[in-house]
Structure formats: structure tokens, C-alpha cells
Amino acid sequence: MTEQKTEGRARRKTRQGVVTSDKMTKTVVVELTRRFAHPAYGKQMTRTARVKARDDQFGAKTGDTVRIMETRPLAKTVAWRVVEIVERAK
């Protein structure tokens, strides 16, 4: 009988966002937007976070919607990488 290991690396976070800058070499800036209800009043709120993601294939351009995945730190400010381009900018 073989046992499956449940320990080891945890699932990596994946997020979907829009590329706002592609001016760096191998790195793009992705804007992540999340909507949620205010805890006390219930009003819909929007919060944005800008993260830097590694794009080795130079495929993502400004305006593209991309899926990024959390990874080990690749540089001082880069800890995400581009997994796929969901939608190209028009």
C-alpha cells in the first residue's frame, strides 16, 4: 500500500490582473483589482494592488489580461510570474 504525502509545498496563489507597464526587461507590472462589501455598511468597495511579475517570454504587453502565480523571490521586488495571457489588449 502506498501513502500519498499531504505535506510539502502549499498550493501557490494565482491571480488575474491587467498589465499596466511593460517597460522593464523580463518584468511587467500587473494591477490586481478586488471588490468586496464594506464590513459595517455593505457598500461595494474596490481596492487595487500593483505587483511586479516575471515574464520571460516577453509576451505580455500593456493592457493585456494575464494570470500570474506566486513564486519564490526572483528579485528585490519580484515574487510573481506570468503563467498565461488570458486576453490580448485591443
Cα dist from 30 to 1, 3, 20, 83, whole Å: 46, 40, 6, 12
The answer as to whether 21 is a domain residue is yes
The answer as to whether 52 is a domain residue is yes
Q: How many other C-beta atoms are found inside a 10 Å radius of the C-beta of residue 69? A: 14
The answer as to whether 73 is a domain residue is yes
pTM of the model: 0.84
Render each residue's pLDDT in the chain as its tens digit; 90 residues.
455 555 667 899 999 999 999 999 999 999 999 999 999 999 999 999 999 999 999 889 999 999 999 999 999 999 999 999 999 998
What was the pLDDT predicted at 6? 54
- As for how many domains the chain has, the answer is 1
The answer as to whether 8 is a domain residue is no
Q: Show the domain range for 40.
A: 14-87
CATH number of the domain that 39 lies in? 2.40.50.140
What was the pLDDT predicted at 66? 97
The answer as to whether 64 is a domain residue is yes
